[in-house]
Homo-oligomer: A and B are copies of this chain.
Amino acid sequence: MKENRVYEIDDRKEVLFHNNVDFCIGTGRMGLALQQAYQDQLRMVQDEIGFRHIRGHGLFSDDMAIYQEYEDASGVKRAEYNFTYLDMVMDSYRKCGLKPFLELGFMPDKMASGKQTIFYWKGNVTPPKDYQAWCDLVCATLRHLMERYGEEEVLTWPIEVWNEPNLPGFWKDADMEEYFKLFHRTFDAIKALNVRFRVGGPAICGVEDELWIREFLNYCRKEKLMPDFITRHHYTTEFPKPEGHYGYAALSDAEQGFDNLRSTRDIIDSFEEYRGLEIHITEFNTSYIPNCPLHDTNQNAAYIAQQLSRLGDVNESYSYWTFGDIFEEQGVPFTPFHGGFGLVANGCIPKPTFWTFRFYKELCGKCVHKSDDMVIVSTENGGYQGIAWNAAGKRQDRELQFDLVFPAVKGKEYSLIKKTVDEDTCNPLRMWHDMGEPASLDEKQKKLLQDCARPFISGNRLAASEEKLSVSLTVKEFGVVYFELQPIKAENDRGFDYNRAVLN
């Protein structure tokens, strides 16, 4: 099936498109940042895409070893803080050009009021035995960071209190009142340290989210708290069906998700005090489980392409969960392609969705077109960049054919570069399947998978015979195509004739 789209570009108008694709990226728990493979994947992501912040769980979990206790000479229990691993992690982020988006949690075992944990790696999700000890820990950590990295620098790191307290798995009994207490105490302690810190919450996911947002703001208003921003999460699949190590989930309707985000915006704006308060989506992805094969597909890449065109509409930022597949929430994956959240599969293999981010990072200019399957910006030098996608929610064998007309300078030559990521050109999951789904990759296999996981690049040279230029693009099902149309200064070395070179 083939569908046609005809778009004529008018570069005088500007279309709403808040492209903040590189603001933040998610990560497996902080302690994993000590790992070499994690760092290799992160460096690759930063080299090609380059995010500005990174956010993940587990800052205060025991593998980071920050919170320690001992008995002093008189037998009194005292706290001491160990920042050895914290320094290593933060140094590594900074070396990659990243600032943390600090998420405060989970509870150190020794400080916890209970034994409930979450995940394979056992993050304790109970409130502190002693809120003062918690606030001391938070402040000691921030003070240490300011000492090491400079006060002004650390003040630019946003701080979020806890993660998904609206789920009983993440916060004991999903106890709303207790969370508000945690928020209040933490907020006050940080602001007392330096009022310029930016602190937000409640970091909820899409379960009773409207209730939580509303109650949170009611609480803040009552307590005269002015959070610096609101945070929430955004996942867009149906419930997954489990099978062995995996869960299979169908994509939900994208519009439904955008409506949900719109509601959050509206609720906030309905509070006079909080109207226009920044919303940060501190996690988003299609499926919310780290073993959903969908994440590794081209379909995921195309669906996310649409998300990225609109997530900035009512939100300040949106952080994809996660950059890589060094991740242990459900245990250690058995194979490189195991449906992890990452943009990169283990073995440093970019997944199709990696390129969706890369393409959005390229866009730099004024938006002149945005539709359900394409976004185009005009660039300073008189050219255009765009992304087209074919994101049918289900497989339907649909090919999209775009006929674009751009304003152009008559007589000028233009270079058209296309980068195509679709099931035929950039599909490492399929190559891995073709190789027999090996669990252990040798170096040659890794290289082959990396090599086949790159966009297909093609070019063209067009002359504008009038004041406009027509460009055609075909996007196969689940494909994402980046293109760049740039006026060129055609040079020609003395005696060089391309046609003579190739048309002999």
Contact = CB atoms under 8 A, between A and B. Distances in A.
A76 interface: no
A136 B379 CA distance: 34
Interface in A328-349: 331-335, 338-339, 346
Nearest to A149: B442
A241 to B, nearest CB: 9
Most chain B Cβ neighbours within 10 Å, of A335, A455, A461, A504 = A504
Interface in A359-390: none
A501 interface: yes
A483 to B, nearest CB: 13
A1 interface: no
A146 interface: no
A89 to B, nearest CB: 10
Contacts of A244: 70, 493-496
Contacts of A87: 440
Interface in A431-460: 431, 433-440, 442, 448, 451-452, 454-460
Nearest to A251: B504
Nearest to A484: B448
A401 interface: no
Contacts of A37: 34, 88
Given A436-B415, A436-B488, A437-B492, A501 B331 contact: no
Contacts of A251: 504
A250 interface: yes
A248 interface: yes
B502 A429 contact: yes
Contacts of A92: 36
A116 interface: no
A460 B394 CA distance: 24
Contacts of A501: 248, 293-294, 296-297, 339, 429
A2 interface: no
A48 to B, nearest CB: 10
A493 B437 contact: yes
Interface residues of A, number: 89
Interface string A409-438: 000010111000001110001110111111
B84 A334 contact: yes
Contact of A245 (B334, B430, B491, B493): B493
Contacts of A88: 36-37
A242 B430 CA distance: 49
B458 A245 contact: no
B395 A504 contact: yes
B332 A439 contact: no
A222 interface: no
A325 to B, nearest CB: 10
A35 B433 CA distance: 30
A471 to B, nearest CB: 13
A141 interface: no
A437 B84 contact: no
Interface in A79-107: 80, 82-85, 87-88, 92
A35 B500 CA distance: 32
A489 interface: yes
Contacts of A299: 502, 504
B415 A294 contact: no
A490 B3 CA distance: 38
20 contacts: A34-B34, A34-B35, A35-B35, A68-B331, A80-B494, A243-B495, A246-B495, A294-B501, A335-B496, A395-B502, A415-B434, A417-B434, A430-B502, A435-B488, A436-B488, A437-B496, A439-B493, A448-B457, A451-B454, A452-B457
Rank and list the top 7 A-B pairs by shortest CB-CB distance, nearest first.
Answer: A244-B495, A293-B501, A436-B488, A434-B459, A244-B494, A65-B332, A452-B457
